[in-house]
Structure 1
Amino acid sequence: MAHHHHHGEGHTTCVRLVPIFNHLSDEQMDLIAASAHTRKVSKNELLFRVGEKDDTLYIISSGRIRIYQLNESGREQTIRILNPGDFTGEVAIFQSDKRHHSYALAALDTTVCMIRKADLDNHLDNYPEITRRILADVTRRLQVSEKQTTQVGIENVASRIVAFLADYVVDENNHTFVDLPMTRKDLASYLGTTPETISRKFSALEEQDLIRQHAKNRIEIMDLDELLFSVE
């Protein structure tokens, strides 16, 4: 028995990471973990591509996955960045047409846990709470996506950047920081603009003493109200 537990250990950790499963008991999580498979995806390798048939729930165990689509002119539009504990593939599970509508690329060396639809259906029947949690997560994501669409609709790139920063603010000892959840290049693609424009806008905000750029992806916000007011 101990041997079996050891065998599924990596999967259990992976299942434990995900908010949709972490309300379950250890035994229940072990059951789900037993049906999971692990896959390693190297940096810049595709996990799946548009049009591929699939019926798998993918859980990011470590690393980072970038979900993107190609627009009419063939440019990549970043849709989402998946970090450890995030999942994708729920569409394949709930819809009958199990084809991917986007690309999933490993932004770093990434380990993914995969659960097939047949196995997942059993788990959903046994633990209906999982379904509620998946729906809650997907709904929240739709709201973010609608917000993103609205933001891209705003002509002014500066307003989009500021709105994005405001969404990711954390306070640390009376200092307000934003740790960008993606690279500048992906941020540009996410906000529907170019990396050059992002850099220019950040520099302009820095010159106005509204922000200070720290290490790679860390931005200090000097005064959030003033920053929000600057783009009214």
Structure 2
Amino acid sequence: MAKISEKLSQKTFQSGEYLFQAAEKKDTLFIVHKGKVRLFQVSESGKEQLIRILGPGDFVGEQRLFNPGQAQNNFAQAMTKTEICLIHQKDFEEVLKEHPQISLEILAEMAKRLSQSENQTTSITTTSATNRLIFHLVELIEDPNNPTPIVTLSMSKKDIASYLGTTPETISRKFKELEDAGLIKQLSNQKIKILDVDELLLYE
């Protein structure tokens, strides 16, 4: 991404402000410099489905660069005061001509996201809310050799519920259920101590 820095412009978004909304046609790549952005979809019934949380170094909008004029099908909303670097499609094409390797890197990232999206969809349709929460907590473990790790939630419990395809009330009940079972301890709103990783994975 350093290779395209000279083509970038920068814009600051306040918490709650949208980078873009569904149906908009913006042939722009958005790169998070500082802050956090939530990427989500809204169903016809009005239910939100969180896709991912973007942090510094993450980007979104790459599909419109390869398909100019295609409308957005997601919403991107700043979660905090967020600094975004932007590059427009025409400038991006010039960069690709000089540095074609960048397109391969972006395609690799797109393939990774597609795989994650497919796994998320499969999980929502085939596993219980309890198991989805357990798998989410385990994915947050940074040291796999620590039998009692402390994980930091990267999003609010409301957003976790949206990401896992359930309701905030259900997620709150599942956290309490796992705590009552002696598998986790909620140290704060963002810090969760897993008391036994193996037992947590076996819990049903």
2:198 maps to: 225
Write the distance in 2 (CA, Å) between the matches of 1:225 and 1:143.
Answer: 26
**2:56 aligned with 1:56:** no
**2:153 aligned with 1:185:** no
Deviation at 1:173? 8.5
What secondary structure does 1:124 align onto?
A: helix
Write the distance in 1 (CA, Å) between the matches of 2:97 and 2:174.
Answer: 50
1:26 maps to: none
2:57 maps to: 85
1:5 maps to: none
1:94-148 deviation line (CA, Å, top 9, x unaligned):
1144311111111111110000111111111111211111111111111111111
Question: Which runs of at least 4 in structure 1 moved beyond 2 Å after TM superposition?
Answer: 171-175
Write the distance in 2 (CA, Å) between the matches of 1:190 and 1:173.
Answer: 27
Match of 1:41 among 13, 27, 34: 13
1:160-214 deviation line (CA, Å, top 9, x unaligned):
1111112221229834122222111011011111111111111110111111112
Change beyond 3 A, Cα 1:51–1:163: same
TM-score normalized by the length of structure 2: 0.94
Write the distance in 2 (CA, Å) between the matches of 1:167 and 1:173.
Answer: 13
What secondary structure does 1:171 align onto?
A: coil
Deviation at 1:59? 0.2
Higher CA-based Rg: 1
Match of 1:205 among 153, 159, 178: 178
Structure having greater relative contact order (Cα 8 Å, sep ≥ 6): 2
Write the distance in 1 (CA, Å) between the matches of 2:69 and 2:135.
Answer: 35
1:3 maps to: none
Q: How well do the aligned residues superpose, as a CA RMSD in angstroms?
A: 1.5
Write the distance in 1 (CA, Å) between the matches of 2:22 and 2:145.
Answer: 45
Provide structure 1 residue ranges, at least 5 long, that are not aligned to the other structure.
1-20, 23-28
1:69 maps to: 41
Query: For residue 26 of structure 2, what is the amino acid of its counterpart?
Result: D
**2:123 aligned with 1:158:** no
% identical equivalent positions: 42
Residues 54-133 of structure 1 correspond to what in structure 2 (within 5 A)?
A: 54-133=26-105
Change beyond 3 A, Cα 1:218–1:172: farther
What secondary structure does 1:47 align onto?
A: strand
**2:188 aligned with 1:215:** yes
Match of 1:136 among 69, 88, 108: 108
Write the distance in 2 (CA, Å) between the matches of 1:149 and 1:135.
Answer: 21
The alignment of Structure 1 onto Structure 2 pairs a total of residues equal to 203
TM-score normalized by the length of structure 1: 0.83
What secondary structure does 1:198 align onto?
A: helix
